[in-house]
Amino acid sequence: MFVLIWTTLLFSVRGITADAGAAVKEHCDNGFCITLSEGEITAEAGLCVVIPCSFTTASDFRPKHMVWYKCEPYQRKCVDSDVILHTKNNNKVQSGFKGRVSLLEPDVSLRNCSIIINDLTESDSGLYQFRVQESGTKNGFTFSLKATVSVKGLTQKPTVMIPPLTEGQQTTLTCTAPGLCSGSDPKITWTWRGAGEKDSHITGNITAVTQRHSSTLTFNPSAEQHGTDVTCKVSFTNSITTEETVTLNVTYVKKPVITGMTSVKEGDALNLTCSVESFPPAVITWTKPDSNKNVIVLQNNTRTAALVIVNVTAEYSGRYICTAKHQITTLTTPAEVNVKSDQHGPSAELPWIIVAVVSLIVNVICIILLMFRWNTRKKVKPNQEDRTYMSLRKTDQSPEYDVIARPLN
Ligand SMILES: *[C@@H]1O[C@H](CO)[C@@H](O)[C@H](O)[C@H]1NC(C)=O
Ligand SMILES: *[C@@H]1O[C@H](CO)[C@@H](O)[C@H](O)[C@H]1NC(C)=O
Ligand SMILES: *[C@@H]1O[C@H](CO)[C@@H](O)[C@H](O)[C@H]1NC(C)=O
């Protein structure tokens, strides 16, 4: 049990040390202690920096006001003109820092002296010193341990969020400025650049809405916008800017376009090309619905499919369809192919002879049928002579009569 508690304790202590980054340094002097970050605190121009700080005082000291200074490395102690924050007298603050520095915890009794400095410039690099005062301005303590801040040029870029873009479906892009500080809001602007074009403002129905650290751009993507660049530029105070450019991918598909000769002579080659403009590439196929003949597609790269039939015959005439399958969309374009016969070849004369012969036969059959029908209509009401003839014929033909007649012989 004891071992278990000990181990838990050990681990929790380690955890705390790790969380603090082991980069905290405490310095005590006459019962006044200050805890600051060990080493340099780095930040970027245009953004903000937090100087984490906590202190304790001698038991008889009643802390009332907090003062922060910024001074040069050669100064052993900062002076009044170096004040950047003063909880009692704001007039003492250097003009360059007015409104840029604030306490994270204004309640002095919590002994939390952490500050945030906004709208940084590289000249904010340097040493920062803390002083705590009692009610009377003279009675105070200045800690000798200083915090070191280093401000470098801005390298962070805005974050541009792009949802999947589909032609005709309204969409919203979001650009978020780097560094979330409570300082001045950055200015966020959007620019659009087509392939090989100059910067321009986006055409169409576009709404840009900026809220503190982010801006949204709402528009209706079009096929023409595929492959174009959109830039989000974030401008902080002191002309510090950063930008991010993204290339738009707009999902779109256009109707297949068929090129080539649809009217060919028998024996020649039929060669049609179907092109489909889309992103991402569509699946292109050629079909001939009224035939079970295989349609020969020579190549099917991402944009075109060629239909090639060498040495066509009349049976290749008819409707061919080029189909583009693109995600949930299917688009088709038909082509009417007409294979013309060669007028002087034997293959051209033969069908005419067949047609002539067949029509002649059909005519003859029709005439015979008509005549036969006309005859039978005439015999519907036979006269007396005919009846006699018929009964005679019947008597002659009756096999029963033959059988009865035979014994009489
Ligand atoms: C000081 O106050 C800030 C803001 O409330 C807090 O985030 C920070 O942890 C505090 N620091 C200490 C050492 O308590
Ligand atoms: C622009 O979009 C808004 C909101 O979607 C719509 O009400 C308006 O009619 C659109 N204007 C044009 C010119 O398309
Ligand atoms: C756009 O599409 C290309 C090719 O499919 C891809 O490499 C690129 O990452 C895409 N860009 C975005 C912003 O989605």
The pTM for the full model equals 0.67
Nearest bound ligand to CA 173? 3
What is the residue extent of each domain of the chain? Answer: 2-152, 159-250, 254-344
Q: State residue 409's pLDDT score.
A: 34
Give residue-wise pLDDT tens across range 225-276: 899 899 999 999 899 999 999 999 999 999 999 999 999 999 999 999 999 9
Å from CA of 52 to ligand 1 middle: 7
Pick the atom of ligand 1 nearest to 114's CA: 1
HSE-CB of 168 using CA atoms within 13 angstroms: 3
Q: State residue 396's pLDDT score.
A: 42
Determine the residue of 249, 251, 278, 302 to mutate for testing ligand 3's pocket, defined as the one with the most ligand atoms within 8 A of the Cβ atom.
249
Bridge partners of 192?
200, 230
Å from CA of 207 to ligand 2 middle: 10
Pick the atom of ligand 3 nearest to 249's CA: 1
159-250 topology per CATH: Immunoglobulin-like (2.60.40)
- Contacting residues for 145 by C-beta, under 8 A, at least 6 apart: 25, 27, 34, 36
Give residue-wise pLDDT tens across range 61-96: 999 999 999 998 888 788 888 999 999 989 999 999
Q: Report the amino acid identity of residue 121.
A: T
**From the CB of 54, is ligand 1 less than 6 Å away?**
yes
Q: State residue 7's pLDDT score.
A: 35
For the chain, the first-to-last Cα distance in angstroms comes to 143
254-344 sits in which CATH class? mainly beta
Determine the residue of 160, 230, 247 to mutate for testing ligand 3's pocket, defined as the one with the most ligand atoms within 8 A of the Cβ atom.
247
Å from CA of 49 to ligand 1 middle: 14
Tokens of 380: 């519907």
Pick the atom of ligand 3 nearest to 162's CA: 13
Q: Give just the sign of the alpha carbon dihedral 80, 86, 92, 98.
A: positive
| CATH superfamily to which 2-152 belongs | Immunoglobulins (2.60.40.10)
- Contacting residues for 379 by C-beta, under 8 A, at least 6 apart: 386
Return the residue whose CA atom lies nearest to atom 3 of ligand 1: 104
